[in-house]
Amino acid sequence: MRILVVYAHPHPQSFCHAALERVLAGLAIGGHEVDVLDLYAEGFNPVIDEAEWKVYMSEPARFADSMRRHVELLRQAEGLVFVYPTWLFSLPAMLKGWLDRVFVPSVSFSLPAQGESAPTSLLRHIRLVAAVTSTGTPWWLMAASGFPGKRLIRRAIRLGFSIRCENIWLCLHGMETNTHAQRARHLERVERRFARVR
């Protein structure tokens, strides 16, 4: 399977980066073809500016030249994996901005025709969506907040993928209070889970 991994953390020696390495190791065991977008390392701009906003509804899609590679990788992907820290109960602005700029008309969906009520997905070829994240927030507090990041990935964007899309969610809660052993077990779990992706 061709898998696009979208990584969003500013520090190359973070726990999140260690999780990325385990995702890649697991996918290598499975023999998958993997593309990685490291949003911070490439200086990705998550902001839709006025010029981009004015052509947002264009069909065919009109987007900045800097987005072409991202769009092509998404179009070619059969699997999509997000690796990021959970900040303030949800995705970092960098990753949310990536979704805003890539999941646009003519790329991820077609606008509804006159008289239709819903857009048509253009990403039905994606049969895996996964998220690997960590947070200092305890599980119970994330539950009270409604798991906004989890809902966005596992429900909202997943609606546009294959009807049989595999859905993986791996989150380590309580980062500030976890022991080294707990963190190590989580990383092992990440690698084992991605090694089983088919």
DSSP per-residue string spanning the chain: -EEEEEE--S-TTSHHHHHHHHHHHHHHHTT-EEEEEETTTTT------HHHHHTTT-SS----GGGHHHHHHHHH-SEEEEEEE-BTTB--HHHHHHHHHHS-BTTTEEPPPTT--S-EES-TT--EEEEEEE-SS-HHHHHHHT-HHHHIIIIIGGGGS-TT-EEEEEEE--TTT--HHHHHHHHHHHHHHHHT--
Instruction: Give me the residue spans of the domains in the chain.
Output: 2-195
| pLDDT given for residue 176 in this prediction | 87
| pLDDT given for residue 179 in this prediction | 95
Strand partners, 90: 87
| pLDDT given for residue 131 in this prediction | 98
Count CB atoms within 10 A of the CB of residue 107. Answer: 20
Strand partners, 87: 90
Token couple for 100: 């805003």
- Per-residue pLDDT tens over the stretch 55-106: 887 767 777 788 999 999 999 999 999 999 999 889 999 999 999 999 988 8
Region 140-155 average pLDDT: 83
Backbone angles phi, psi at 84, to 5 degrees: -165, 160
Confidence at 19, pLDDT banded by 50, 70, 90: very high
Is residue 93 within 8 Å of residue 45, measured between CB atoms? Answer: no
| pLDDT given for residue 6 in this prediction | 99
| pLDDT given for residue 89 in this prediction | 85
Topology at the third CATH level for domain 2-195: Rossmann fold (3.40.50)
* Arithmetic mean of pLDDT over the chain: 92
Is residue 99 within 8 Å of residue 6, measured between CB atoms? Answer: no
| pLDDT given for residue 99 in this prediction | 96
